[in-house]
Structure 1
């Protein structure tokens, strides 16, 4: 019994303990859940407070921005001026800003215009209309702002009116070219530019360029042969650039001696050194009474060459260092020396490598070597850079290191294969690494060597050059073949020819003309023509002419080419220009009757007919309308689709062929006309008498 009670009490105690443990755990879990829920509620409260504060801040910011944005209306992009054609649709636009948003009203001449209303522009003086002034009024609530006035004023741009034709000027005189314009030049058209053979001309002491309201001129103070060529005036327009081009001929001035040659041209200076330059030029077109035998050069105006130089190049030697020189050339024939050429620009002699030269001894030399080598080193790379039939130009490289002292040179020469050397420079002081040697014997070979000289002494000789001999006289080029004249206008002829087989060294061509059967030859151009075709102006209408051509090179001019066939000067037959002003005369719904204006130029032959092309609006492909030419300036186009828009263009044709197409017409709507045809009238008789109806 006792054991049973003990067991029972123990069992109760375990049950009680388990119950208390379960209650404790439940109580603990309840408190944990309660703590988590409280934390969640706290987080939600904090989040809502932050959102509320953000919203309040945004609303406050909006109120501040709204207060700051309160201002009167403004036009950041105002109305601008327009120039329009009569009948065009004009769209005016501007940008308006303000707070609160303003209301906009367009006013013409103080009369309100609604958003879909139009105002009919009128102008009694011109097809270009003068649009009335427009005002933009803004009404933000109770405030009002008036925009700036917009005036669409008539400002027609200038076009070429009268232009200069081919012009002739005498060498040494002045000439003026002038263009006039249809209207005063607009501000963006003031810079009328002038060109000669594609090179723009600028204001200078010899060139005067003037542009005023409706006229542009250019004056050349002293005409030289170098100024011959195509002169072009360029005018800027809204669509691009318009230009007018014409040729200016420079005729020879009177000869210095009776029968003497004309002046050479294009004298150029190259290879400038301390005491040496190289001259080149082009031979004149007119030899005078006898062929040109050679040339003499002059510097300020002292003769440079003792003997006449046959070719158009010459080395000038013995000049002063750092001195300005100008050069000109005269041609010589049996009658004597001709007129001098145009002088070159000022040329300053000097050392071209002075800015790159290292002065003093090399830093690698020791003190003993510097004191022991005060005498200069010999030059290197001695060779002939220019070989003619009368001289040889030697060239070499100065020694390196060169030293600080001024350096000159001795030039020695010897026959090839011999050991005896003679002084070629004689008493001439050679300051440049260039030296021309004259007086050599033809068909013999020479070797040359050079010594450097300074105040301390003379260097050892350089290595000898390769054997050099005088060149054979340069042959003049062959004349151009196949000279042919083609009709151009009533006073001009297009001359064409072919290049010679050997065209090396050819600088251009001189042209000559004479009336058929008279052999009175006259020069066309005094500046060589580079191309193989040229339009000869200034001829007499219905006179027959023959032409011939010379090739030009540094060796001189070729003989004359064979004469062209005689040609009578009169207008050639060309294709006609394009028709214009295509208009719609009648439309039946599937057919259109078109009319147009005749070409402004028929090309020297009457217009034989017209061809039409058509295309639908929005397409790019043109379709042929008629195979047979239309004889009249009206044509009925069939097989059209009602309700479609069509563009048309017209070609004119004559004996020379079909000309260029006209501009495309405006888009014509294929729709049956219901109104009476223009000009249609009906006649009614009210009474009939002996002499009246």
Structure 2
């Protein structure tokens, strides 16, 4: 048997093939250094071998050599025992033992079989044995979850293999048989309690301990004492422990609590129930809050009561903050209590006009107040609140102008009424004395006197004045009723002129 090598060989690989169980299949048997030309091989009995060798260097493996001649080994006892022994306790009161069997090439001879030996750990001295050919054996009638020592010994027609190793396993699990004792509950706050208990004996667990399960039932809400509840919840706590913290409870309620052991098979019996109550807590968030009907110094707040009161609701806590218009920072803060569970609106008074407020409202019980519901609102401005001096002067000018216009309208109306009253038909004598009567003469004298004081202003009369009529006109100038309308109908009949009369006329000046 020769192999051709090119370059320096890092190592040689020896392969074998046997023609009894796996003919034609080459398997690696041993590797030797590249500077070694011989190898000592460990072979199984009762087989016919042939060998080949190939070299391996930095580039890769070379071509294998030609196979050697067949070499037969003598049958002998097994030189090893089964491995990967496992113990399963899936079914209570029995134990399943399994292992990986020897390969056909590893049996060293015909008639391979196995002896299974077992005994209770630290209880029994004698081994119970059973000879089997399959790689599985089930032990029945065992105590629940009891530790055992197990070993599996291989043998063939030529004898027993070496002494096997001992492994430890447990029989099948069953649900725990005992309940925790001395269960106690300590209330931490409105939603959490601390639960403690005495651990159960290990023998009563009857399986791999997974932990403890705490179950609690809400039986009553003190806000509706007549109604019976059955709200169940539970939580598992891993490991071998004696206490746990239970959270997520409802305030102002009555509960019943139990504890039990849990293993892989299931849950044990419950402990005696313990009754406890949770105190009142803070109410929940208000669902709605609105600010409406805003006035210069007040606004109306309207809200909805909390969906979860968590106790007896007695009122609300109100906070309101005056904000800076530009930076929205808080300038001033006020707070007050609103007593009454049925109140759902409140008029907030004493506010600054034209200002923005941030409002926080909380529902309260005797325990505490809940989270705040927030809203912002703005009061209406007033005319007296003017910050810019130019706005004040503009507003004053507008007001003065409006007042002056109103006064002018009133004077014009009065003047119009007076002129209308004096503008009707006049009854005169057939030959009217064109001189002013005593009253008119007095008025003209008075006006003449004022004229000297420059308080009166004269102006020429128009053509329609009554003073255009003189005594030189004949009687035909009048109508039958004594009026002088006919005179106006024919302008050619007017012969006189107001210039011939020394009668002053006044120019009326509107005030």
- Greater relative contact order: 1 or 2 (C-alpha under 8 angstroms, separation 6 or more)? 2
TM category (shorter chain) comes to 0.3 to 0.5
Larger-gyration structure (1/2): 2
